[in-house]
Structure 1
Amino acid sequence: MRTFAYCRVSTVEQNAETQAHQLKERVADLLDTRIISESISGGVAAMARPAFKELVDHKLEAGDRLVVLKLDRLGRDAIDVLQTIKMLTEKGVSVQSLDLPVSDLSTPEGKLMLSLMTAFAEFEKSRIVERTQEGLARAKAEGKTLGRPVAKGTTQSVLKARADGLSQAKAAQELGLSLATIKRHWNKEL
């Protein structure tokens, strides 16, 4: 079993060396060449991070172990973190987070912890959708206009270009608007 470690900091001003040092102190069989570090926001999905993707796609194999100092190093979005851990465990990679009471997430206890985290992440996602819908309903009830604001005169300009015989592409060019905007206004009535 090979052991890899992943260190992540959010900005280039920060340094992952502290994480790497703490990992080397706590993980006996960790080689310097198997510590992967990058500076990228935790808000970026795990598999969209270049160094992490390289690690998963080209270095980690079934039977390997991936260690992180804290679970949030894998990401800030609970759902993405859980999907990442699931993907790794399905690949046969053991995932360990040294900040959790049960560090090995591939054991029965770790799977229980992961299940609980999944339930909380699902609940969190549902609440976000609920709050968004409530906010939209309240805004509608208050008479607010929802959606993209329309610049005054856009519809008239597009309809005049159409009446003048311009194509949608030519109208977009002439009016300095995107083709999508032209298409949205092309068949509107005044």
Structure 2
Amino acid sequence: MRTYAYVRVDPNTQENFNYLSFFQNFGYSIPSQRLIVEEVAVDTSIIYRDKLINLINYGLETGDLLIFKGIDCLGSSFDEIYNTVNTIEEKKITLICLDFSKKEITDDLKLIFFHFLKLCSSFESKLKNKRKGNHPSSSFVKKVGRPEILTANQKEEVLDKFKKGYSVYALAKEYSVTRTVIQRLLDKSTKSLKSIKRVQ
């Protein structure tokens, strides 16, 4: 059995860290040629982690042991991490995640580990769908940011009514928008008129 270690390092890291000694402190002696250090940000997708991909596809063989510090080494999301772990599992590679356990992830420990990643991946997926408005209960989520924009016809009506003496408050109430929306429309209209006058 060959032992490999993979480390994700944030780019522009200034400190000189001895990773061989780090793994040695946990009782694992890693040959220097089998220590893979990759400088990628934590939010870098797995598809851009070339050293990790090459290690999984071409370096690791059935029966090998792969040690990594945390699950962030294996992807930028739980979905990526879960898929990466599954790919490694299919190659019958033994894993050790030091942040999870100092021992090899096998038997019941492996079931717990995979179940944990699956739960996190599922939660992450639901959260993304909810944020995109695709979740069934998304209608109950309060919208954040700018209110809905008025239609072109409504904008014309607002400007016309404002000229006739309607207040900003009255217009906002009538069109069910905030006063900020009405004021922004009026300000934009004023700027447009000034620009036309300059051209003339």
What's the TM-score once normalised by structure 2's chain length?
0.62
**Number of residue pairs aligned between Structure 1 and Structure 2:** 145
**Where does residue 34 of structure 2 map in the other structure?**
34
Cα deviations by residue, 1:110-156 (Å, 9 ceiling, x for unpaired): 222221221122112202211321499847993238xxxxxxxxxxx
In 2, the alpha carbon distance for the partners of 1:68 and 1:16 equals 18
Q: Structure 2: which 5+ runs fail to align? A: 151-200
Q: Give the root-mean-square deviation of aligned CA atoms.
A: 2.8
Q: CA deviation at 1:100?
A: 1.0
**Where does residue 88 of structure 2 map in the other structure?**
88
Structure 1: 4+ residue segments shifted above 6 A? none
Cα 1:108/1:83, change in 2 over 3 Å: same
Q: CA deviation at 1:22?
A: 0.8
In 1, the alpha carbon distance for the partners of 2:102 and 2:27 equals 15
CA contact 1:63–1:94 (8 Å) conserved in 2: yes
**Where does residue 114 of structure 1 map in the other structure?**
114
Q: CA deviation at 1:69?
A: 1.8
1:168-187 correspondence runs (5 A)? none
In 2, the alpha carbon distance for the partners of 1:55 and 1:16 equals 23
CA contact 2:46–2:80 (8 Å) conserved in 1: yes
Q: Secondary structure at the match of 1:26?
A: coil
In 2, the alpha carbon distance for the partners of 1:17 and 1:107 equals 33
Bigger mean CA deviation after superposition, 40-49 or 132-141 = 132-141
Cα 1:140/1:25, change in 2 over 3 Å: closer
CA contact 1:45–1:75 (8 Å) conserved in 2: yes
Structure number with greater Rg is 2
Bigger mean CA deviation after superposition, 21-30 or 88-97 = 21-30
CA contact 2:46–2:76 (8 Å) conserved in 1: no
**Where does residue 147 of structure 2 map in the other structure?**
142
Q: Structure 1: which 5+ runs fail to align? A: 146-190
1:16-95 correspondence runs (5 A)? 17-95=17-95
1:126-165 correspondence runs (5 A)? 126-133=126-133, 134=138, 138=143, 142-144=147-149
In 1, the alpha carbon distance for the partners of 2:16 and 2:68 equals 12
